[in-house]
Structure 1
Amino acid sequence: MSAPPQGSARDSVPGAGEDLVAAARDIASAAGSLTLRWFGRRDLGVTWKRDGTEVTEADRAAERLVRERIGEQFPDDAIFGEEEGGAIRPDGRTWIVDPIDGTRGFVRGVPLYATLVALVDPYGPLVGVIDLPVLNQTLVAGRGTGCWLGDHRCTVSDHPDLRGALVNTSDYNTFEPSQFEALRAAGAMMRTWGDAYGYFLVATGQAEAMIDPVCETWDLAPMPVIMSEAGGVFTDVAGQPDFRNRAGIASNGSLHAAVVAAMQSLPGDPDGG
Structure 2
Amino acid sequence: MTDSRARRIELGFAMATEAGDISRRYFEDQDLDVDLKADGSPVTEADRQIELRLREAVSAEFGDDGFTGEEFPDTPGTSGYRWIVDPIDGTKSFVRGVPLYANLIALQEGDEIVFGIINLPSAGILVHAEKGKGCWRNGTRVSVSDRPSLDGAYVMATWLEDWDPSVISDLHSQNVVLRTWGDAFGYAMVACGHADAVVDYTARVFDLAPMPVILREAGGRFTSLDGREVFDAGNGIASNGRIHHLLLPWVSPTFDHSGPQDHLGKGIRV
Q: TM-score, normalised by structure 1?
A: 0.89
1:196 pairs with one of 161, 175, 184: 184
Residue 23 of structure 1 deviates from its aligned partner by: 2.5
Corresponding pairs, count:
260
Of 145-154 and 174-183, deviating more is 174-183
C-alpha contact (below 8 Å) 1:232/1:251 kept by paired residues: yes
Please tell me whether the aligned partners of residues 16 and 145 of structure 1 are also in contact (alpha carbons under 8 angstroms).
no
- Which residue number corresponds to residue 134 of structure 2? 146
Partner of 1:137: 125
Query: Which residue of 2 is the match for residue 114 of structure 1?
Result: 102
Corresponding position: 1:219 with 2:207? yes
Secondary structure of the 2:26 match is: coil
CA-CA distance at 1:266 after TM superposition: 4.1
User: Quick one: distance in 1 between partners of 2:64 and 2:56?
Assistant: 13
Corresponding residue number in structure 2 for 1:205: 193
Change (3 A) 1:248 1:254: same
Q: Which amino acid aligns with 1:65?
A: R
Residue in 2 that maps onto 1:271? 262
One-letter amino acid matched to 1:259: L
**Deviation of 1:84 (Å):** 0.7
Write the letter of the residue equivalent to 1:187: N
> 1:171 corresponds to which residue?
159
Whichever residue aligns with residue 42 of structure 1, its letter is: Q
- Tell me, yes or no, if the aligned pair for 1:90 and 1:122 is still in contact at 8 Å: no
Q: What runs of 5+ residues in structure 1 fail to find an aligned partner?
A: 1-12
Distance 1:266 1:91 in 2: 44
Question: How many angstroms apart in 2 are the aligned matches of 1:38 and 1:28?
Answer: 15
SS in 1 for 2:20: helix
For the aligned residues, what is the CA RMSD?
A: 2.2
Q: Tell me the distance in 1 between the aligned counterparts of 2:3 and 2:238.
A: 22
Give the equivalent residue in structure 2 for 1:62.
50
- Aligned: 1:29 with 2:20: no
TM-score normalised over the length of structure 2: 0.90
Q: Looking at both structures, which has the greater relative contact order when contacts are Cα pairs under 8 Å and sequence separation is at least 6?
A: 1
Distance in structure 2 (CA, Å) of the matches to 1:236 and 1:87:
25
Paired residues of 1:169 and 1:198 also in contact (CA < 8 A)? yes
Q: Does residue 236 in structure 1 map to residue 224 in structure 2?
A: yes
Note the alpha carbon deviations across 1:108-159, whole angstroms, 9 max, x for none. Answer: 0000000000011223111110000101221111111211113211111111
What is the alpha-carbon distance in structure 2 between the residues aligned to residue 257 and residue 152 of structure 1? 29
Percent of aligned positions with the same letter in both sequences? 41
Query: 2:240 is matched by which residue type in structure 1?
Result: N
Structure 1 counterpart SS, 2:88: strand
Deviations 1:62-116 (A, max 9, x none): 1111111111222211000000120676982110010000000100000000000
The equivalent residue for 2:266 is none
Q: Distance in 2 between matches of 1:212 and 1:100?
A: 17
Rounded Cα–Cα distance in structure 2 between residues aligned with 1:262 and 1:61: 40
SS at match of 2:262: coil
Aligned to 1:46: 34
